[in-house]
Amino acid sequence: MPMSPYIAHLRSLVGTVPLHLPTVATYCRDGRGRVLLVRQRESGRWSLPGGAIEPGERPDEAAGREVKEETGLEVCLHRLRCALGGPDYRTVYANGDELTYVALVYDASVVGGSLEPDGDEVADAAFVERSAFARLDKERFFALVLRDGVLEGG
């Protein structure tokens, strides 16, 4: 995934040491109950749309922005589903950069736009039946969300 200018600046100062970042993800379903997923261009793996909260940005604004940037869709957020973090929520990138994160996961529905992956971070975007999740090559975050039952109950 491309690095934001803010993170690039921090990395120039601290190198690869762990950064702790606030992030968002969006659990967006269509009228048939399918879930909006994105396939990351770099890894080829599927996950929920989301990303880092920029300095000074409200988390709900970040969630809507990330969905729009990655998928072309505009969403209405309904509620904060959960907050995730802890030792499992750690990533080390191929270049050695390490980060830990707290992720706020929002429920949402589509209110506009057209489904079109950005081609930069996201190679594909689709509404996927939950029954197909087991067959997908998943990003670690999405696998943790499923493991922890975050998407259960609606």
Per-residue confidence band for 63, with pLDDT thresholds at 50, 70 and 90 = very high
pLDDT at 94: 84
- 83 within a domain of the structure (yes/no): yes
Strand boundaries in 15-121, DSSP class E: 19-28, 35-40, 46-47, 50-52, 73-84, 90-92, 98-113
pLDDT band at 2 (very low <50, low <70, confident <90, very high): low
Q: Is the pLDDT of residue 135 over 90?
A: yes
- Which CATH number do you get for residue 87? 3.90.79.10
Query: Maximum CA pair distance of the chain?
Result: 47
What predicted TM-score, i.e. pTM, was given to this entire model?
A: 0.91
Q: Print the domain residue range for 55.
A: 5-147
50: closest CA among 38, 41, 32?
A: 38
Q: Residue 152 falls within a domain, yes or no? A: no
Q: How many domains does the chain have?
A: 1
CA–CA separation, 34 vs 92, rounded Å? 31
- Determine which helix (DSSP H) or strand (DSSP E) holds 123, and give its type and residue range: strand 122-128
The predicted structure's pLDDT at residue 131: 94
User: Residues 141, 148, 107, CA angle at the centre, nearest 5°?
Assistant: 70
Does any domain span residue 153? no
The Cα-based distances of 3 to 34, 37, 93, 95, 126 in angstroms read: 30, 21, 12, 12, 24
